[in-house]
């Protein structure tokens, strides 16, 4: 049975689209709640120009804070998104443990997001990933807009697989497919991840789904069945890429964990603490957020004994 790893991206992907700036102290409180809940990794922010994404202006400060002794109540991987070499250098200086970086399979989205076309971005990202890896950092590379693009529409699956092959050939073993535009459907998810695992069964696959069209949870279940290990999600369903045509929130962390609990998986993660944090986020923004379980509560647990394993 493939392990399930929860990678919380709310402090980065969840907040980057929000216009109301969240004070650093408030972010710290939310992150502390997520750590206490028992998620495996938290993406604290992205190393981008604060003029383009003001919400990420305190990313370096957050890493510096949580890398102080005693600031993490339990072990958790602190990850950060980097788009270029300058961001990588900043991340190394403030103690990023896992670097997340990638390229878009859509040339239009790539140019809007990074100012580079896909073909230009691929060798630069591979070089950055190798540099981070050589410094003993964890590295995850991704293909964004892997299931479709809000600007270009259908993205050929072979184009996605060609990018993945270049990552694999470069020795990069943790590969994420990101549904930036929310266009994925479960059959497509099974097909693409199945094709990647057919290239190399030892690859650790990660998934990143947006709920733009209400399919994120179904796509996560399809990914689970296919053998995907890492699931990226955002507390309360926050998020949306500011550089795509129609922004939709991430799959919701507490909703996803609730599903896994019903399947007898990852019962070590505290759903009550996730719900508490989601309520704090909703209260801060003074609006209902896309997540469901923080409003309804969980279905009472009643599972057959054979399904009550954790991984």
Query: Which CATH number characterizes residue 142's domain?
Result: 3.20.20.70
Burial class for 41, CB neighbours closer than 10 Å (0-12, 13-18, 19+):
buried
Q: What is the pLDDT of residue 247?
A: 54
Q: What is the pLDDT of residue 300?
A: 83
Q: Which residues of the chain have pLDDT under 70?
A: 113, 240-248, 301-311
- Structure-block tokens of residue 77: 């991987």
Q: Report yes or no on whether pTM surpasses 0.85.
A: yes
Among candidates 232, 233, 212, which has minimal Cα distance to 148? Answer: 212
Among candidates 304, 161, 302, 178, which has minimal Cα distance to 231? Answer: 178
Q: What are phi and psi of 239, to 5 degrees?
A: 125, -175
- Structure-block tokens of residue 300: 């009472």
Q: What is the pLDDT of residue 241?
A: 54
Quote the domain boundaries for residue 183.
5-307
Q: Inter-axis angle of helices 118-134 and 157-169, to 10 degrees?
A: 30
Torsion of the alpha carbons at 113, 235, 290 and 294, rounded to the nearest 10: 180
Find the catalytic residue in 100, 205, 207, 241. 241
Q: Inter-axis angle of helices 253-262 and 216-226, to 10 degrees?
A: 50
Instruction: Provide Rg for the chain, Cα atoms.
Output: 18
| Residue position matching structure tokens 């609006």 | 287
The total domain count for the chain is: 1
Q: What is the pLDDT of residue 153?
A: 84
Q: What are phi and psi of 250, to 5 degrees?
A: -75, 160
220 is catalytic: no
Q: What are phi and psi of 309, to 5 degrees?
A: -90, 160
Q: What is the pLDDT of residue 307?
A: 44
- Alpha-carbon distance of 104 to 111, in angstroms, equals 9
Among candidates 168, 171, 174, 246, which has minimal Cα distance to 214? Answer: 246
- Structure-block tokens of residue 306: 């054979």
Tell me the longest C-alpha to C-alpha distance in the chain. 53
Among candidates 279, 218, 212, which has minimal Cα distance to 249? Answer: 212
- Alpha-carbon distance of 234 to 13, in angstroms, equals 8
Contact by Cβ (8 Å): 228, 193? yes
Q: How far is CA 172 from the centre of its chain?
A: 18
């Amino acid at each position: 049975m493939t392990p399930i790893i929860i990678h919380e991206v709310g402090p980065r992907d969840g907040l980057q689209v929000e216009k109301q700036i969240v004070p650093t102290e408030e972010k710290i409180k939310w992150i502390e709640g997520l750590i206490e809940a028992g998620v495996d990794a938290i993406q604290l922010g992205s190393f981008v120009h604060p003029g383009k994404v003001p919400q990420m202006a305190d990313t370096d400060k957050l890493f510096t804070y949580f890398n102080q002794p005693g600031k993490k109540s339990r072990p958790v991987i602190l990850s950060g998104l980097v788009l270029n070499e300058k961001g990588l250098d900043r991340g190394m200086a403030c103690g990023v443990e896992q670097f997340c970086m990638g390229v878009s399979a859509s040339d239009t989205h790539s140019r809007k997001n990074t100012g580079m076309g896909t073909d230009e971005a691929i060798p630069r990202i591979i070089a950055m990933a190798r540099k981070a890896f050589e410094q003993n950092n964890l590295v995850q590379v991704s293909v964004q807009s892997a299931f479709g693009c809000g600007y270009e529409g259908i993205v050929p699956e072979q184009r996605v697989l060609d990018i993945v092959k270049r990552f694999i050939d470069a020795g990069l073993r943790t590969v994420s497919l990101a549904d930036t535009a929310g266009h994925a459907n479960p059959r497509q998810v099974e097909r693409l991840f199945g094709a990647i695992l057919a290239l190399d069964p030892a690859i650790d696959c990660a998934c990143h789904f947006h709920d733009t069209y209400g399919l994120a949870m179904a796509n996560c279940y399809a990914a689970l069945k296919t053998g995907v290990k890492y699931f990226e999600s955002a507390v309360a369903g926050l998020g949306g890429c500011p550089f795509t045509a129609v922004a939709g929130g991430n799959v919701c962390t507490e909703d996803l964990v609730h599903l896994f609990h019903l399947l007898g998986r990852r019962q070590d993660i505290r759903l009550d603490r996730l719900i508490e944090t989601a309520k704090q986020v909703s209260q801060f923004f003074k609006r209902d957020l896309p997540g469901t379980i923080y409003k309804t509560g969980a279905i009472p647990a009643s599972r057959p004994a054979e399904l009550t394993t954790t991984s």
